[in-house]
């Protein structure tokens, strides 16, 4: 019987029991894909990351939801960086994490706030009319606040601006409708809705999990894709935004989004280490 040690952390957390939960396994060498997915289903967290050795980074991670593997996700990357720094007792503030979407540079500032630099965004038009998109989200066309766009800074998602915070809170999409009408290039429905009021953004992120609708507590990839949307739509730079997520599911996450004059996108948040555990297989 082998023992696999993992760390439980919360990412984008202002308090110990807020933010987005994550388990990070110290050493997943020798585990096959089916076992990695089964572990993620066993723990039933939004995502689980598994650490492997890397040649061109401090560590390589693989990220699994209970349903599938993801090429990139923000909160597992930030949480994994925190665990890698803790395990290796790194004195420096910068490190690199290799993901399936590429090598991601990260750094730590005071109070264990970690920040990653997102990949350069790519785009794809949304072919739905405003009437169709509003109906899919359970809203009226007047609730839309701009042009929806598929954005990819590591994971492609449909980014939808809304006209008010109230519209963000009123979204009621259906899983089977999202799966049919707004899949990304990997065939998975992932939708970010948001509203900006000066420097404050209220954001919700919906996805489907084995036929059911799910809402994420704090989504670093969606925050990065929001930065890509702002670039595509000519928002004045530099941009520094406070992003709030999780209101409707009673689990608040605080994210920081920066887009600099050089069009680089940065997403950050505090990581809280809660404890460790062992899994016997």
Q: Which residues are catalytic?
A: 47
Sign of CA dihedral 214, 19, 254, 123: negative
SS3 at position 141: helix
SS3 at position 118: coil
Determine the Cα–Cα distance for residues 238 and 210; give it in Å rounded to an integer. Answer: 39
Determine the Cα–Cα distance for residues 4 and 32; give it in Å rounded to an integer. Answer: 14
| 61-89 b/e (C-beta count within 10 Å ≥ 16 → b) | bbbbbbbeebbbbbbbbbbbbbbbbbbee
Determine the Cα–Cα distance for residues 160 and 145; give it in Å rounded to an integer. Answer: 8
User: Residues near 93 by Cβ (< 8 Å), separated by ≥ 6?
Assistant: 107, 108, 109
Q: What single-letter DSSP state applies at residue 189?
A: B
Question: Residues, the chain, total?
Answer: 281
Determine the Cα–Cα distance for residues 208 and 179; give it in Å rounded to an integer. Answer: 7
């Amino acid at each position: 019987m082998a023992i696999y040690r993992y760390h439980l952390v919360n990412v984008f957390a202002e308090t110990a029991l807020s933010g987005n939960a994550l388990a990070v396994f110290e050493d997943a060498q020798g585990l096959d894909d089916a076992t990695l997915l089964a572990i993620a289903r066993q723990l039933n967290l939004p995502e689980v990351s598994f650490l492997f050795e890397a040649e061109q980074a401090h560590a390589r991670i693989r990220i699994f939801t209970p349903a599938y593997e993801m090429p990139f996700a923000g909160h597992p990357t930030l949480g994994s960086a925190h665990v890698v720094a803790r395990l290796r007792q790194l004195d420096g503030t910068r490190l690199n994490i290799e993901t399936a979407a590429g090598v991601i540079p990260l750094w730590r500032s005071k109070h264990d706030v970690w920040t990653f630099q997102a990949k350069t965004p790519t785009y794809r038009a949304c072919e739905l009319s405003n009437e169709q998109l509003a109906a899919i989200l359970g809203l009226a066309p007047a609730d839309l606040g701009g042009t929806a766009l598929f954005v990819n800074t590591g994971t492609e998602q449909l980014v939808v601006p809304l006209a008010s915070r109230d519209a963000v809170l009123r979204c009621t999409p259906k899983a089977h409708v999202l799966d049919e009408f707004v899949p990304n290039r990997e065939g998975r429905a992932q939708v970010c809705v948001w509203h900006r009021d000066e420097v404050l953004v209220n954001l919700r992120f919906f996805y489907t999990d084995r036929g059911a609708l799910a809402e994420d507590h704090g989504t670093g990839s969606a925050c990065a894709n929001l930065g890509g949307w702002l670039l595509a739509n000519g928002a004045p730079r530099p941009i520094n935004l406070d992003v709030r997520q999780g209101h409707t599911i009673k689990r608040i996450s605080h994210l920081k989004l920066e887009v600099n004059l050089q069009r680089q996108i940065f997403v950050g948040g505090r990581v809280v280490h809660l404890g460790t555990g062992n899994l016997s297989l």
